[in-house]
Amino acid sequence: MSDEPDHSRLSHSPGSDELLRLAVESATDFAIFSMDPDGLVTGWNVGAERLLGYEEEEIVGRDGDVIFTPEDRAAGVPDAERAEALAQGRAEDERWHMRKDGSRFWGSGLLMPLAERRVGFIKVLRDRTERYVAQKRLRESEERFRVLATNIPQLVFRSRATGERSWGSPQWVDFTGLSSEESLGFGWLEAIHRDDRAATLAAWRAAEATGDYRVEHRIRRSADDDYRWHQTRAKPPDGGQGTATEWVGTSTDIHEMRSLQDRQKVLLAELQHRTRNLLAIIQSMARQMLRTSRSLQDFETEFESRLRALSRVQSLLAHDDYPAIDLRALVETELAAQGGSGDDPGKVRLEGPPVALPAPSAQALALALHELVINAVKHGALGQTGSRLAVSWRVEGHTGERRRVVLDWREDGVTMPSHLEQERPGYGRELIERALPYQLAAETRLDFSPEGVRCSIAVPLEDRRAKHAWVGI
Amino acid sequence: MPGSGSEALRGRRALIVEDEYLIAFDLARTLEDLGVGVVGPARSVADALALIATEAKIDAAVLDINLGGEKAYPIADALLTRRVPFVFVTGYDSWIIPAAYAGAPRCEKPVDVRVLARLLFNER
């Protein structure tokens, strides 16, 4: 007992009883009481009266275990405490206790055997309820922070205002494969893409002045050695007052967002390109018709009709990022624009499988179909009774470059106007016989048979990768 | 516009690279009206490179950047090697053109052919 001399020595040194009594009585903030080996109270100070609510007279000779909660008594805590005190020389007493009126307080103290063990024990106890509750709150708050910092999808860190790190969350360790120790100081830079390190450090220099760190950089994902774009932000908790404070920061994965932004930029450029290209096509169309039109009246009618055909195919193209247009929809749209079969539902027959046309092919083909339809309305099957139009198509070849769609346009029962063969090569004829082969590497054939117009157009169907390549830069 | 070509353009030969038929042949006719001889038009990188390799005389070239999915830059490289000046004709903004070709003149579609002709032949 040499290391715990105070109470035991004092209490049993001759002549010191009075001193002890005075000391014990003056310690009114402490409950100090003694018990015999069986736990019956033998002494009880004023502090004990205040804290526990029992008067000395009513408690002396009674079981001191009444200050334990019923749960602890049922669990044998008082006996265990005494056994520990005997074995170790002392037993910490940190638990909820109960006053005479049944109210509870958090008691903190210890139980010690008196020098002569058979004499019993002395217990010193004080009310630490406030501190206990405050600490409990702090622990809970710290736990909440820990749970938050270690469970949000962001990588969390603490850092000095210079960028030297003192802590990285488990997510950081998991993501980068760098251990907590390896990440300390500037070790974390190892996980930043080499090309982004200068900007990353420059942002720290700027942050010292602004109190706000932010940078976008690539962080290596150890799982696949892939660099993912992150936005990293940090702030000092007190808003930048004082330089010694630790900053708290997070890195958020913005890879998908950046990819979408890049893609948007590309799509915008393509939209720009398509729009200007379309204007150029209209410009060329107008200029060529100016060269060949017999009159301004002719020009107006034909130009407007072709402009509308272009407009129709644009609205088909506008529906998707990667537009692919069904051939049947294209044919139906052009026919419908000119009144289709009119009153005779059996006049026009369409037949063919679904075929997805790449956008550039669709536009050129639509203009050619427009010319065929216009001609059929003016001179052919769509303008005469008793005549018929069959448009059929099929896909030839297998996948790859040799795959193509072959469309046959066949008018029957038409009374062909005699002047048609002698007409100068028209715009429609040029589109079919020259533009389609030039632009789509198509093979075409246009005949004015005595029965009506026959036209065959074979267009290669590019494979999907080639078709889409023009959107990606 | 026959007869409107200046003497500076007569006898000159220009390669046209443009995949859109209507634009390509309209441009060809318009340049021919100005007295320029047309090489092509070529619709693809391969067609254009073949013409550059075989045509003895090409004084200038008009390049559409997007040729049905291909980019015209290999053609630009071949022209630079042959020291043939060229003009990009495109619907793209300039930021999309790689830095290596940033010095090349550029005409936005739709093109004013007289401006184009000036860029092609008069600026040297």
To the nearest whole Å, the CA of B77 is away from the closest chain A CA by 18
- Nearest 5°: phi and psi at A315? -70, -30
pLDDT tens-digit series, residues A92-113: 889 999 999 999 999 998 999 8
How many residues in total does chain B contain? 124
pLDDT bracket for residue A240 (50, 70, 90)? low
**Identity of the residue numbered B54:** T
Residues of chain A found within 8 Å of residue B111, distances taken between Cβ atoms = 280, 283
Mean pLDDT for the stretch of residues A182-197: 94
Of the candidates B20, B26, B43, which has its C-beta nearest A288's C-beta?
Answer: B26
Q: What is the pLDDT of residue A470?
A: 36
User: Could A470 and B110 be called an inter-chain contact, meaning their C-beta atoms sit closer than 8 Å?
Assistant: no
CA distances from A390 to A376, A393, A436, A466 (A): 12, 10, 21, 32
Q: Rounded CA gap, A101 and A345, in Å?
A: 100
Chain A positions touching B68 (Cβ under 8 A) are 360, 439, 470
Separation CA A71–CA A472 (nearest Å):
73
pLDDT > 90: percent of chain A? 40
Helix segments in A293-409, DSSP class H: 296-317, 327-337, 359-379
Instruction: State pLDDT tens for residues A378-433.
Output: 888 888 888 889 999 999 887 666 788 999 999 988 887 766 554 545 788 888 99
pLDDT tens digit string along A453-469?
A: 899 999 988 644 344 33
Residue with tokens 């034909």: A302
What is d(CA A408, CA A393) in angstroms, rounded to the nearest whole number?
Answer: 6
pLDDT at A174: 92
Residue A65, pLDDT above cutoff 60: yes
CB pairs under 8 A between A and B: 78
The pTM score is: 0.61
Task: Enumerate the β-bridge partners of residue A253.
Answer: A230
pLDDT per residue over A325-354, tens digit each? 889 989 998 888 887 666 677 788 999 999
CB–CB contact B108 A276 (8 Å): yes
Residue carrying structure tokens 């490179």? B49
Q: Which of A288, A270, A469 is nearest to B45 (CA)?
A: A469
Rg (chain A; Cα; Å)? 47
Which ipTM did the prediction report? Answer: 0.84
- Alpha-carbon separation of residue A143 from A50, A132, A150, A167 (angstroms): 35, 16, 10, 16
- Residue B113 above 60 pLDDT? yes
**Mean predicted confidence (pLDDT) in A38-66:** 91
- Kindly report the length of chain A: 473
Q: Which of A26-30, A268-272, A277-281 has the highest mean pLDDT?
A: A277-281
CA distance B45 to chain A (A): 13
The pLDDT value given to residue A5: 44
List the single residue in B with minimal CA-CA distance to A437.
Answer: B21
Q: Which residues pair with B87 in a beta bridge?
A: B62
Q: Percent of chain B having pLDDT more than 90?
A: 27
Q: How far apart are CA B110 and CA B90, in angstroms?
A: 8
Cα separation, A380 vs A453, in Å, equals 7
Share of chain A above pLDDT 70, in %: 86
Peptide bond before residue A323 is cis, with ω within 30 degrees of 0: no
User: Which chain A positions have a beta carbon within 8 Å of B22's beta carbon?
Assistant: 281, 284-285, 288, 435
Interatomic CA distance for residues B2 and A122, integer angstroms:
123
